[in-house]
Structure 1
Amino acid sequence: MPFAPADTSARSSRVSVLVCEHSQVQLRILSEAVRAAGYEVHTANTADDALGLLRLMPIDIFLTGIEVGETSGLEACWQLKSNPETETVYTIVVTASGQEKRLEESLDAGADDFIRKPVNMTELRARLRAATRLVRMQRQFRRMAETDALTGAANRRAFMQYLESQADLARRGGNPLSVIMVDLDHFKRINDTYGHACGDRVLTGTVKAVQACLRERDMLGRLGGEEFAVVLPGAQGEAAIRAAERIRTAVSGQVFTDDKGEPIPVTASLGLALTGHDDVMETAESLLHMADEALYEAKGAGRNRVMIAPPRSETPRIAAVG
């Protein structure tokens, strides 16, 4: 379900484990055991490499030795737990037998669990299963906190966080990024004529229709009422325009009926903002503002159409009309 990067968070149901060990032999043994237990496995030889991976990809469980380069595994645990973006990563420290002092240091550094060398694989699997239960519970809580209760789209807070992170990546890497504002046409009339229960059906159906048009890394958010927004990382030019037109067509192609079986027409107006049309890399707020202005133009031009935000002071142009 393309909410976030298309799951409310857009992640697979598999739990990912990052194994960090300085010894190639230990790294191979541990990673093969974790993979055989059914986990998605990533590896690193040093804590610094591991921290770099954790900044680039979602990791659920961090399994690390203590002596893993200039930065110790304990320091890596402390850094993870002190960062709001990674504090939920479940950390397991591998300690040498008899190192009771290091065990105490591990727990003080924020480790959630520990396992002693030589690692008993049955015990390792059991500890991973216990960690997995907590990881999945945290995912559920996070999904509830980030999701609009009625429609299942991302709520405004979650959407803005994702848009800001993607805009930052676009500015630093020069990657394209597009934002679409989507507003249902004459929605108040639907509520007033057919009732709010019908309006809710239109909203939830529209979200499903839009989600079906999105890629895994796209995100659909409900900003309020009948107003939605979509962020399209990596999309530019004609690809973004086609995506917007798919959404417009999907919304207008829905079939809703009233209590008498009469059809209820539903359409949407869309405003599209693109990066890469000039030398200025936009912020999240400016992209959203540009898309909102293009949406306003789409409403004024007759609704049920896609309008593209112009490069700076030019006039918005129509991309598609229903």
Structure 2
Amino acid sequence: MPDGSEEERLHIHICETSRVQRAILVRMLSEAGFFCSASGHAQESLDRLRQDPPDIFLTAIELPDFSGLEACWRVKANPETEHIHTMVLSASGQEDKLAESLDSGADDYLVKPIDKNELKARMRAASRIVRLTQRMRAEAETDALTGAYNRRVFMRTLEREHRKALDQALPFSVLMVDLDFFKKINDTHGHASGDRVLIQTVRTAKTLLRPPAMFGRLGGEEFAVLLPGQDETEAMQTAEKLRLALQAMYVENDEGKPIPVTASMGLATLHAGDLESTGEKMLGEADAGLYRAKEGGRNQVCMP
């Protein structure tokens, strides 16, 4: 049974043509402890799924624009939504569609008319699968020590967000972050203290940055930040806030003494019409800015 807190409640998006059926489903699932959103068209639902991915997508088969089976297929074919647990609502007499729905990417199905107890039981079972999948994804996508996104996920997201920014002529910036004299921290205070610095760095960044910004650990003491929607001015302001926050964070060594921490940063911004730009090139430009920051005395933000 889902926890009642907003943070723990699973999000179910319902796609159902009938307003009455939508209202019934929303009421029953809300009473069962789920957060619900709903629409009556497949395309509207898919747009919502991309903007705010739910945990579970529950769709009828017959929809005004295209079928719920095709909607399930599109959800599973899109890397941004493939993790969503999909369920099909089949009307009585559509039993022949059930096997087809599973082939189309649905993870489970329900047959109308909906029995309240069966609905709750199926959703509890789906919740267990969703939470297990979420834990597995978190382990696969995040750095074990710090909880930051790992390099593989960061690079994949970098290319996707860069392509989106180019296609839609949106602002986009990339920030490289490197902790100053980190080897000295390890040598002076010990590796356990160094690990605490890395962990606190990620905590501080996560507190400061808000989606769609993304913070990743590329390796060692080197981190990077994706800043979708931020131009040069906005990204520089964000970088300065992060630099000051890292400089102000408090970390103790094993003897309870504070460890001074600063970071150097390099910023790269996508320029409109630069069709030769790639995500990897932007990361290289940010790295060049980081080198300038190091050469210029550290604890500063530089452009390439």
* TM-score category, normalised to shorter length: 0.7 to 0.9
Per the TM alignment, residue 185 of structure 1 is displaced from its structure 2 partner at its CA by: 1.0
- Return the match for 1:18 from 13, 25, 28: 13
Secondary structure at 1:118 match in 2: coil
2:23 to 13, 28, 31: 28
Q: Aligned pair 1:202/2:197, yes or no?
A: yes
Question: Conserved in 1, the CA contact under 8 Å of 2:193 and 2:254?
Answer: no
Which residues in structure 2 correspond to 1:120-139 (within 5 Å)? 120-139=115-134
What is aligned with 1:68?
63
Give the structure 1 partner of residue 36 of structure 2: 41
Q: Which amino acid aligns with 2:94?
A: Q
Aligned to 1:182: 177
User: Which amino acid letter does the alignment assign opposite residue 219 of structure 1?
Assistant: M
TM-fit CA distance, 1:261: 4.9
Residue 287 of structure 1 and its aligned partner are, at CA, apart by 1.7
Question: How far off is 1:270 after superposition?
Answer: 0.8
Contact 1:48 1:69 survives alignment (8 Å): no
> In structure 2, how many angstroms separate the alpha carbons of the residues matched to 1:145 and 1:229?
18
Which deviates the most, 135-144 or 164-173?
164-173
Query: 1:5-28: CA deviations, max 9, x gaps?
Result: xxxxxx954322221222333233
- SS in structure 2 of the partner of residue 19 of structure 1: strand
Q: Deviations over 1:53-112 (max 9, x none)?
A: 333331221211121135322232233334444333222222222433223333333322
1:114-153 → structure 2 map (5 Å cutoff)? 114-153=109-148
Structure 1 counterpart of 2:274:
280
Call closer, same or farther: CA 1:81–1:179 in 2, change over 3 Å: closer
Q: 2:168 aligns with which of 169, 173, 183?
A: 173
Change (3 A) 1:107 1:237: closer
Q: What SS does structure 1 have at the residue aligned with 2:208?
A: coil
3-state SS of 1:135 partner: helix
Query: Secondary structure at the residue paired with 2:234?
Result: helix
Q: CA deviation at 1:257?
A: 4.3
Pick the aligned partner of 1:51 from 46, 51, 56.
Answer: 46
Structure 2 CA distance, aligned partners of 1:46 and 1:29? 17
Cα gap change, 1:106 to 1:261, in 2 (>3 Å): closer
Gaps of 5+ in 2: 1-5
In 1, Cα distance between the equivalents of 2:260 and 2:247?
7
Structure 1: tracts of 5 or more residues without a match: 1-10, 310-322
Quote the Cα distance in structure 2 between the aligned partners of 1:210 and 1:55.
25
Cα distance in 2 for residues equivalent to 1:256 and 1:57: 35
Q: CA 1:299–1:96 in structure 2 vs 1: closer, same or farther (change >3 Å)?
A: same
Mapped to 2, the partners of 1:259 and 1:130 lie a distance apart of: 45
2:150 counterpart (128, 151, 155): 155
Match of 1:92 in 2: 87
Quick one: distance in 1 between partners of 2:103 and 2:250? 58
Residue type of the alignment partner of 2:230: A
- Cα deviation for residue 297 of structure 1 reads 0.3
1:241 and 2:236 correspond: yes
Paired residues of 1:16 and 1:39 also in contact (CA < 8 A): yes
Does structure 2 retain, via aligned residues, the 8 Å contact 1:271–1:292?
yes
CA contact (8 A) 2:174 2:269 kept: yes
Q: Residues of 2 paired with 1:81 and 1:126: CA distance?
A: 24
CA distance in 2, matches of 1:182, 1:261: 26
Note the alpha carbon deviations across 1:156-211, whole angstroms, 9 max, x for none: 11112222222122112222122111101111122223322222122112222222
> Which of the numbers 240, 247, 252 marks the counterpart of 2:247?
252
**TM-score with structure 2 length normalisation?**
0.88
Correspondence 1:297 to 2:259: no
| TM-score normalised by L of structure 1 | 0.83
The residue number in structure 1 matching 2:3 is none
- Name the CA shift for 1:239/1:68 in 2 (closer, same or farther; >3 Å): same
Q: Distance in 2 between matches of 1:66 and 1:262?
A: 63
Distance 1:233 1:13, change over 3 A: farther
Identity of aligned residues (%): 51
**CA 1:129–1:149: 2 relative to 1, 3 Å:** same
Instruction: Give the SS at the match of 2:210.
Output: coil
Counterpart for residue 213 of structure 2: 218
State the Cα deviation string for residues 131-175 of structure 1 (Å, max 9, x = none): 112111111111111111111111111112222222122112222
**Contact 1:64–1:93 (8 Å) recurs in 2:** yes
Q: How many residues align?
A: 298
